[in-house]
A and B are shown apart, each in its own frame.
Chain A
Amino acid sequence: AQSVTQLDSQVPVFEEAPVELRCNYSSSVSVYLFWYVQYPNQGLQLLLKYLSGSTLVKGINGFEAEFNKSQTSFHLRKPSVHISDTAEYFCAVSEFNNNDMRFGAGTRLTVKP
């Protein structure tokens, strides 16, 4: 079965600095990859997804992620973060024809003024 590892449990960063949240996955078949954001006391919201095609995926709120098949990674990036980006970020993987979506443990992004 597929699995996801988010390499950093917490990432503190200053406002307007760039950020990268790392995600690696494991699967023996083709996968679909997702990044979700969870603001305090709220449900998860989809940031972006990779299904096929271009390996660089652009999402909402200025985030983007790059699928790297050889390194089995799907890192999330933003060139300049805002205080409002402070939240928990989850990477998720779903195998082709498998409805069991696996989530990483989450990365808490804290943006400091």
Chain B
Amino acid sequence: DSGVTQTPKHLITATGQRVTLRCSPRSGDLSVYWYQQSLDQGLQFLIQYYNGEERAKGNILERFSAQQFPDLHSELNLSSLELGDSALYFCASSARDLHLSYEQYFGPGTRLTVT
């Protein structure tokens, strides 16, 4: 158990809908990272928040957004969903910024299925 929790575990929704994925980092970790894992794109970094502020952006679509709240939990919002958004979404946390702490702890993931 990494100490990172993600809810829900599974999510099935229809095209055009909007969903919110939630992540609670390990106790004391300030950074949260979001990743998308799909069969065709592999594992891709989406976005990082550090202590409430956006820190780094990867291949995140404009239809996707995220935020980190004062209690350090984070939410990833996916809107206008398309079939291609079906994937496993991972959250990871680290104690500080990645290049300072170098180690991320991954949650179990949320499997999103868009029908």
Contacts and interface: CB of A to CB of B under 8 A. Distances in A.
B45 A45 contact: no
Contacts of B102: 32, 49, 51, 94
A104 B33 CA distance: 17
Interface stretch (B11-19, B67-75, B77-85, B104-112): B104-112
B106 A45 contact: yes
A99 B2 contact: no
A53 interface: no
A75 B97 CA distance: 26
A19 to B, nearest CB: 21
Chain A binding surface SS class? loop
Contact of A43 (B45, B56, B109): B109
Interface residues of B, number: 24
B24 interface: no
B90 A101 contact: no
A90 B45 CA distance: 13
A42 interface: yes
A104 B44 CA distance: 9
A42 B98 CA distance: 22
14 contacts: A43-B2, A43-B108, A44-B43, A45-B2, A94-B102, A98-B99, A100-B56, A100-B58, A101-B33, A101-B98, A101-B104, A102-B45, A103-B44, A106-B42
